[in-house]
Structure 1
Amino acid sequence: MSMLFPFDNSYARLGAGFSAGQAPVQVSAPRLIAVNDALAAELGVSLGSDDEMAQVFGGNALPGGAQPIAQAYAGHQFGGFSPQLGDGRAVLLGEVVDTNGQRRDIQLKGSGPTPFSRNGDGRAWLGPVLREYVVSEAMHAMGIPTTRALAAVSTGDPVYRQQGALPGAVLTRIAASHLRVGTFQFFAARQNVPALRELYAYTRARHYPQAQTPGDLLRAVIRRQATLVAQWLGAGFIHGVMNTDNTALSGETIDYGPCAFLDIWHPQTVYSSIDRNGRYAYDNQARIIVWNMAQFASALVPLMEDQESAITEFTEAVHAMPALIDAEWLRVFGAKIGLAAPDENDRALIDDLLRLMQVAEVDFTNTFRALGRPDAPAALMGTAGFDAWEARWQARLTSEDGWRARMDDANPAFIPRNHRVEEMIAAGVEGDFAPFRRLLDVLSRPYVDQPDAVDLTLPPAPHEVVRETFCGT
């Protein structure tokens, strides 16, 4: 086999209980759909022929040095605690240290049942694989920390869901790690303090070497999560399933299940079909990440000798998080209206624009993109109060150099619009991957005007509106 992976598998060397050895389950007819050549080069991975890649990324062949495992973790799912979840349909092949010196996980997602499957089939169908590939790569191109997609393979085997028989697929996912809030919760729930200490030491070494104490680690993770969620809000992104097992300690976006992007600006928007009470609505995400960090803090308490003092320290750190998110939100949305260093006096300017946008029911992405152009958004022109707002905004910009370019860099022209993603999936099910490849190409340059792709900037027509998105399990 000509494929080479420079594996160095540190997580598999951790103590008993962190993972279970599990090889991917064979599939009948793996076929390569896509491979990310640039990412492979960054990882230091040598790729082979399409047939070789289909066998490896489909799970039928293990590359040299792989040590496949399924990781253990727990988690709060929609507020309810599950003491054992774990990788129920994913296998970590191993880790590589990439060309930038960063350790990265290589994981097969949809590779068959594991000891953590809880009666599931461990498989993924094609739709969620294509969705995660496109959306994660689009998020990366927008500069939002995220897992990446290295490859997608169709399996030749049907996967059975509520819709009936669907084509199966496997995604090869790359992550800074798959450590989650739920990984700490797994050992805290079992009062396994020695394992918790080992996990703490591993997390520090891998992601936060500057952290000297559990409190330092908590504050470092909080800072990254505050920045990440503010970036989501600026992009109009709704994760859809912000469970603690889907909160990566690295600060990356992970697990693109029922995710979606805003079309019309409405802060209470919910797309996820499983989020029946709107727990993870767009404007709840900032509150939920604070709740998730409180659960992380609780899982760290057993590490402390003086637990009463630790609870006080950790509570202060969590209570400080909303202000961190708020500051990041102001920075992100300030840039979206051209401000290099927005201050508290600018908050009303941003809030008033968002209120006007909600009244006018305008497209979130297109409105911000057009705002910095000579042809300001026509949809807002007739809205009562817009002229007065625009005059205030222009007066504020008189002290800003380069504001137009700043807006172009902060406001994407192209996002993975929900109706385009659904069209791509429908075509893929029929064996047509041209829409998938086109989306990948266009979304790799989200801030660049691409006249031949203007159709991908259009909001959905009434009959194209996607009202619900679905998890792939």
Structure 2
Amino acid sequence: MKLVSRYTDIAEQFAIADRPSPVGEPSLLLFNDAVAKQLSIDVSSAQQAAVLSGNQIDSTVAPVALGYSGHQFGHFSPRLGDGRAHLLGAVADQQGLLWDIQLKGSGATPFSRGGDGRCAIGPAVREYIMSEAMHALGVPTTRCLAVVATGETVYRQPPQPGAIVTRVASSHIRVGSFQYLATQGDVVGLKALADLAITRHYPHIQSTGPERYLAFLSEVIKKQIELVVSWMRVGFIHGVMNTDNTLVSGETIDYGPCAMMNSFDFDTVFSSIDRQGRYAFGNQPNIANWNCARLAESLIPLINEDDEQAVALLSPLINSFAEKFNHAFTDMWAQKLGLDGHKPEDSKLVAELLALLKDNSLDYTNTFDSLTRSLKGSVTLPSVLSSWSEKWAHRTHKQSYSIMRKVNPTLIPRNYMVEKILKDFAESNHSPILSEYLQALQNPYTQSINESWNHAASDEKNYQTFCGT
């Protein structure tokens, strides 16, 4: 695995050299052959556990812990950073694009704030399953290369076996990364970071001066809208949309308290730490807008020396978020229902359906899958949808089935299935169903329905997910 250093030339204390803490008995639990092939990662099987636990380090590239700030549930923390992660470096794919290789759970760093820097096996396996499922669903996401068991106990409540995740990302540049430099008044560092982000993610931006960074913000807004619309299309609830968990690339990162919505309700919350519903399913667009506004604030020094003039230039972009999102959201529902063009009454048709889903506790995924399959006459719709479906049928057309089949999955990573697998790993570092389940999740739009994997859960009213730190 040929690594190159990354982020070390942005600013002092932005990427701090720090080595992973060795673990006692590393053993490889999961390895993603597809990701390894994509990135030409050729770590021998004999070395995988040592390299991907951090026990064996490339002598030519120093691992680093990245600094960043973050609004966590609306409260600003100026110095967060990688408290339990080490960036080993980056590898180049066949097109020459760099991809970050990061170990998560690899020990304490200068940003740990007294924590042990470790990860339990449950959150590690959850991230592997969820990120692979999201990738197959067509949702932009970071991915996992591997999960390594450490052979050590992580002292949580209760104590659990430890593990380390190897995460792959096109970059780890967060909204919080810009906040970190802006808080320090480091304009040179801000510019260097913005230029790096543009080069990696938005190379088509060729303008200079303030226009360059206004264009950058515009592209980030576009990507955040696309991401949240993708989440809501498949019923994903991130659970912790802090600015430090918002990548400017528009990829999903941090699968701690995430979950999938079953019975439809915009107010659905599963995260144990989201007591006010800040990151509820239906509030995710508002938070994405809010996070983009925090990025805009951080970019002020790059736009104009006069703060008021900078805000005047940035504000129209932030204020455009809602309209742009609504257009994308409307298009999403049109695709999920296979509507023939756009008509003013379509919003009422969608609203009626969502009200029926909520009032009757209908499963989000299964309902849209049933609607899709009903166009082929292969399923009987719930009786509560009979009257509505007659109106919907008049809005479909010859291509409706193929359009709907591409956006309405038959299979999602059900919460109860993920929890069953995590329990298996906590007990024996293995799950007998994981391999087959992961394979099925790779074909979420064509997979034959397995009732044991995909039934509508009726006992999740009190289900909670946890951050995993």
TM-score (structure 1 length as normaliser):
0.94
- 1:204 aligned to 2:198? yes
- 1:187 aligned to 2:181? yes
Q: Which residue of 1 aligns with 2:42?
A: 46
Trace 1:313-392 onto structure 2 (pairs within 5 A). 313-339=313-339, 341-342=341-342, 344-374=344-374, 380-381=382-383, 383=384, 386-392=385-391
CA distance in 2, matches of 1:189, 1:60: 35
Letter in 2 for 1:445: N
Aligned equivalent of 1:136, options 131, 146, 151: 131
State the 1:6 CA deviation: 2.7
Trace 1:249-288 onto structure 2 (pairs within 5 A). 249-288=248-287
| Alignment deviations for residues 140-168 of structure 1 (CA, whole Å, 9 cap, x no partner) | 001100000100010000001122x1000
State the 1:309 CA deviation: 2.2
- 1:409 aligned to 2:406? yes
CA distance in 2, matches of 1:113, 1:379: 53
State the 1:307 CA deviation: 2.9
CA distance in 2, matches of 1:370, 1:388: 16
SS in 1 for 2:47: helix
Range with bigger deviation, 104-113 or 331-340: 331-340
SS in 2 for 1:449: coil
CA distance in 2, matches of 1:42, 1:422: 29
Range with bigger deviation, 358-367 or 442-451: 442-451
- 1:92 aligned to 2:90? no
Letter in 2 for 1:186: Y
Range with bigger deviation, 368-377 or 137-146: 368-377
CA distance in 1, matches of 2:416, 2:379: 22
State the 1:345 CA deviation: 4.0
Aligned equivalent of 2:427, options 422, 430, 439: 430
CA distance in 2, matches of 1:160, 1:395: 59
Q: Which residue of 2 aligns with 1:232?
A: 231
Asked if structure 2 preserves the Cα contact closer than 8 Å seen for 1:367 and 1:377, the reply is no
CA distance in 2, matches of 1:231, 1:450: 22
Q: Residue 198 and residue 335 in structure 1: after superposition, are their counterparts in 2 closer, same or farther (change >3 A)?
A: same
Q: Residue 455 and residue 197 in structure 1: after superposition, are their counterparts in 2 closer, same or farther (change >3 A)?
A: same
Aligned equivalent of 1:19, options 12, 15, 19: 15
| Alignment deviations for residues 156-185 of structure 1 (CA, whole Å, 9 cap, x no partner) | 00001122x100000000001000000000
State the 1:64 CA deviation: 5.6
CA distance in 1, matches of 2:434, 2:147: 11
| Alignment deviations for residues 68-99 of structure 1 (CA, whole Å, 9 cap, x no partner) | 10000001000000000000000000111212
State the 1:100 CA deviation: 3.5
Asked if structure 1 preserves the Cα contact closer than 8 Å seen for 2:340 and 2:395, the reply is no
Letter in 2 for 1:249: V
Asked if structure 2 preserves the Cα contact closer than 8 Å seen for 1:6 and 1:44, the reply is no
Percent of pairs with identical residues:
42
Q: Residue 402 and residue 200 in structure 1: after superposition, are their counterparts in 2 closer, same or farther (change >3 A)?
A: same
State the 1:294 CA deviation: 0.6
CA distance in 2, matches of 1:299, 1:128: 31
Gap regions ≥5 residues in structure 1: none
Letter in 1 for 2:204: Q
- 1:8 aligned to 2:10? no
Letter in 1 for 2:434: F
SS in 1 for 2:162: strand
Q: Residue 364 and residue 439 in structure 1: after superposition, are their counterparts in 2 closer, same or farther (change >3 A)?
A: same
Range with bigger deviation, 72-81 or 17-26: 17-26
RMSD: 1.7
CA distance in 2, matches of 1:231, 1:59: 34
TM-score (structure 2 length as normaliser):
0.94
CA distance in 1, matches of 2:157, 2:387: 52
Q: Which residue of 2 aligns with 1:308?
A: 308
Range with bigger deviation, 151-160 or 95-104: 95-104
